[in-house]
Amino acid sequence: MIQLIVFLPLLAAAFAGLSNRAFGATLPKIVTTGALFIACALSWPIFIGFLQGTSEPSVAPIATWMMSGDFDVSWALRVDALTAVMLVVVTTVSSLVHLYSWGYMDEDPDQPRFFAYLSLFTFAMLMLVTANNLIQLFFGWEGVGLASYLLIGFWFQKASARAAAIKAFVVNRVGDLGFMLGIFGTFLVFGTVSIPEILAAAPGMAGSTIGFLGLRADTMTVLCLLLFVGAMGKSAQIGLHTWLPDAMEGPTPVSALIHAATMVTAGVFMVCRLSPMFETSPVALGVVTFIGALTCFFAATIGTVQTDIKRVIAYSTCSQLGYMFFAAGVGAYGAAMFHLFTHAFFKALLFLGAGSVIHAMHHEQDMRYYGALRKEIPVTFWAMMAGTLAITGVGIPFLDIGFAGFHSKDSIIESAFAAGGMGAYWAGVIAALLTSFYSWRLMFLTFWGKPRWAGSEHIQHAIHDAHGHHEAEDAHVEHPTREVEDNPQAEDAGAEPHEAGPRKTDMPGGTGGYHPHESPWMMLVPLVVLSMGAVFAGVFFHQFFIDPEAGANFWKGSLFFNEHLAHAAHEIPEWGKLAATIVMLIGLVTAWYGYIRNKEFPARTADHFRVLYRFLLHKWYFDEIYHFLFVRSAFAFGRLFWKRGDEGTIDRFGPNGSAALVAFGSRIAGRVQSGYLYAYAFVMLIGLTAAVTWAITR
């Protein structure tokens, strides 16, 4: 069964990719989507078996991969509770994304290639989560990196898509260097790459030292930090996060797949899988906690000022991943995986809901051109509402009643409090406030207020040019971005048409003949299914992931489960439990006041705190700093080798120099080729005289 789950997406990807357009678009879509739904149907019984306690961890051997002396690396698929969680997350979200893409990508001429990439992405992620050794895990790790490059740059005709794909690939290579060094070091220390053998031997290595960079350092700290660098790249933690917002250049289904079920969750999964290793190094856990908490806060601040609906959700992903990492850092690995599980449902829902809004608005992504859409696209509205209620953590404390995020995110915050990580606790609380604000800001700008799409020249231009997704999405941000940079008030004043961009409100009917439209059923069915997950996933599954007794029985050693911490998290003071709900309400009221009640308030606030506003608008200037420190220097270094090295030295004295020498010799030789017989006789005479002279004088 596990073999079918893993390899069906690969076979489907091969068929869709190799057939190209030979069978048209429909058959590859049927094959790839059908394969994912079969894999999903096979994954849920495995997960339910672990929930019921009837399934036991197992390893399914596939084939020998590499063998050299005692070094034996075999293809083998490991199935335990941690794998089961990831199987349902990956296959459920991926299958729904495949179905959703039938409607969203309907006009694209390269649909077989797109669906092949989606299935390849899913296969790579399944290989990663079922890995029984570090080499196989690295294979899946690099596989999702390759597939993300292909998907982000799917519309390769767009310069911005090509640049985003390259950026994602390069930034992840930085993190992957640390990951590779961590794998090499782990093999050096343990003499094996088998994950079960490494985890069994890890406690015995606590306190030992290893030589690293000319110094003696704690062995497990060095190994865990190197591995965590890889997780920072894949899961977009601060410093290696810059690729994630730019990944929005890919089609919206790609954003949902990358952000909800694949790639960005790989780092969290890896840390939880290797949790017995991390438990041997308090320093490494402290670093994981600090980076996670900082990312959680940092990304949430940026999300409050974004105008692109997909980028708001992208920075939300970055922030939510920070929650998962600092949960792992304080030892609450079960809570980290629980939030990964619930996050997959409501984040996929938010991205696909945003895609439905974009589809209705002819691929306009700037929220300042939305408004009053709740009656135009009601199914999308209620789906987005469910996702917003989930991500903001709406629920009733002490009664265990609430949406998915209420159970999973609050459990992380409570675990941080119980573990004594008050810095992480307050970072999580403040991030919860900001999450509530920017999530409801998105809802109010999109679905309430006046219809700012009415007669919009911007929308009409998008409609006129909408010959395909790849053309329409290319024009969605240029004017608004420049306007925000020149006029900070314009961004948050989006409720009034004249403040957000050019409008023609005097056009017949006030709409310019344009009305938003609801998405086709193939796009709406995944929204309905994911809405159920956003509403009920927390209620139904929280006890299995985080309750002390049930959690220990469920995980069965697939990760390090701290029962003492799980007990302590339930016993923290009442104010510690209420804090997240209180700040959620504060964020909701603030967003309502600024975007419904007093629409001038955001513009005045942005103008009053202009320096802070521009700091957040420029995303803490990470891109600018990296461009100055690394991009410019890399290009200068490259130009030096290109102009001075390649052209100035190699070409000058190599092929170009040889060619010049030949040309010079040809010109000299050409001068003696006069065509006169007496000239040739004279040269022959000189040669004969020289030869005789040489023979006589020897």
Q: What's the confidence (pLDDT) of residue 659?
A: 80
| Residues near 509 by beta carbon (within 8 Å), at least 6 away in sequence | none
The gap between the terminal CA atoms of the chain, to the nearest Å, is 92
Q: What's the confidence (pLDDT) of residue 23?
A: 80
Q: Which of 400, 381, 312 is nearest to 577 (CA)?
A: 400
Q: What's the confidence (pLDDT) of residue 477?
A: 35
Q: Which of 340, 313, 314, 336 is nearest to 325 (CA)?
A: 336
Q: What's the confidence (pLDDT) of residue 461?
A: 53
Q: Which of 305, 309, 301, 383 is nearest to 594 (CA)?
A: 305
| Residues near 536 by beta carbon (within 8 Å), at least 6 away in sequence | 404
Tokens 């005709």: give the residue. Answer: 157
| Residues near 650 by beta carbon (within 8 Å), at least 6 away in sequence | none
Q: What's the confidence (pLDDT) of residue 514?
A: 60
For the chain, list residues with pLDDT below 70: 261, 454-514, 672
| Residues near 630 by beta carbon (within 8 Å), at least 6 away in sequence | none
Its sign, for the CA torsion 102, 158, 258, 391, is negative
Query: DSSP labels for 492-560?
Result: HTTTSHHHHS-B-TTSGGGTTT----PPPHHHHHHHHHHHHHHHHHHHHHHHHHHSHHHHHHHHTTSS-
| Strand, coil or helix: 647 | helix
Backbone angles phi, psi at 212, to 5 degrees: -150, 120
Alpha-carbon gap, residue 435 to 403, rounded angstroms: 15
Alpha-carbon gap, residue 697 to 693, rounded angstroms: 6
Q: 4 with 27: CB under 8 angstroms? A: no
Alpha-carbon gap, residue 213 to 527, rounded angstroms: 51
Q: Which of 347, 324, 318, 346 is nearest to 337 (CA)?
A: 324
Alpha-carbon gap, residue 314 to 255, rounded angstroms: 8
Would the pTM count as exceeding 0.75?
Answer: yes
Alpha-carbon distances of 363 from 298, 466, 473, 476, rounded to whole Å: 28, 8, 6, 7
Alpha-carbon gap, residue 512 to 692, rounded angstroms: 101
Q: In the 8-state DSSP scheme, what is residue 202?
A: G
Q: Which of 250, 257, 11 is nearest to 120 (CA)?
A: 11
Q: What's the confidence (pLDDT) of residue 450?
A: 87
Alpha-carbon gap, residue 149 to 439, rounded angstroms: 28
Q: What's the confidence (pLDDT) of residue 508?
A: 32
Q: What's the confidence (pLDDT) of residue 468?
A: 43
User: In the chain, helix, strand, coil percent, each to 5?
Assistant: 75, 5, 20
